[in-house]
Amino acid sequence: MLLPDCGAEVDGPKRLLEPGSAVNAPRDACGQSPAHLAARAGHPFFLLWQLQAGADLNHQDAFGEAPIHKAAKVGSLECLSLLVASDVLIDLRNKNGQTAEDLAWSGGFPQCAKFLTTVRHTQSMKLSEQSKCSFNTDNCGLLLKNKRAYRNVDNLDGKKQRSDGR
């Protein structure tokens, strides 16, 4: 399959402001939406505008790249921060099997790569904690109820009890 040449340059904000199509409609031969173009140009305000207009920030173009890939390729920490805060899928892989984190490392943007690494680890830890409780919801809830019940029985007046019982 031969992919069209999408060019390396972006026409900047002018192209993002063109009227006449839906927010998620591909704007070029590679299936890039305005959100892709904003991220690729490193324009966080236009990206925010796209987000507020309902853009699908996980939409992948002909190369399998979402806006997060585009932002990582150009080293736009501002765009990456906005995308992460918008709950994009940071583990999306392009057609070469690369994540945005991989592209940031290979593009020479260690600050962006470290940011994405930290986010990935944080998300993994959250999922791990959630799965521990979801497998044992009765135990997690019971433990919390028992703690509260114990506190309420021993301390009816809210004061700490002395070891001699007074």
The structure tokens listed for 3 are 């992919």
Residue 64 CB-density burial (10 A; 0-12 exposed, 13-18 middle, 19+ buried): middle
pLDDT over 70 (residue 147): no
Contact 77, 115 (CB under 8 A): yes
pLDDT for residue 126: 83
Each residue of 28-80: pLDDT tens digit?
A: 778 899 999 999 999 999 999 999 999 999 999 999 999 999 999 999 999 99
Helix axes 67-74, 110-135, angle to 10 degrees: 140
pTM above 0.75, yes or no: no
More confident residue, 121 or 138: 121
Banded pLDDT at 161 (limits 50, 70, 90): low
Residues in CB range of 50: below 8 A, 6 or more apart: 16, 23, 33, 34, 35, 38, 57
CA-based nearest residue to 19, from 53, 66, 52: 53
Average pLDDT over residues 74-90: 95
In the block, tokens 């299936």 appear at 31
pLDDT for residue 92: 96
**How far, CA to CA in Å, does 106 sit from each of 39, 85, 92, 109?**
18, 23, 16, 8
CATH number of the domain located at residue range(s) 13-154 in this protein: 1.25.40.20
Domain chopping of the chain, boundaries: 13-154
pLDDT for residue 157: 55
Contact 93, 99 (CB under 8 A): yes
Average pLDDT over residues 153-164: 56
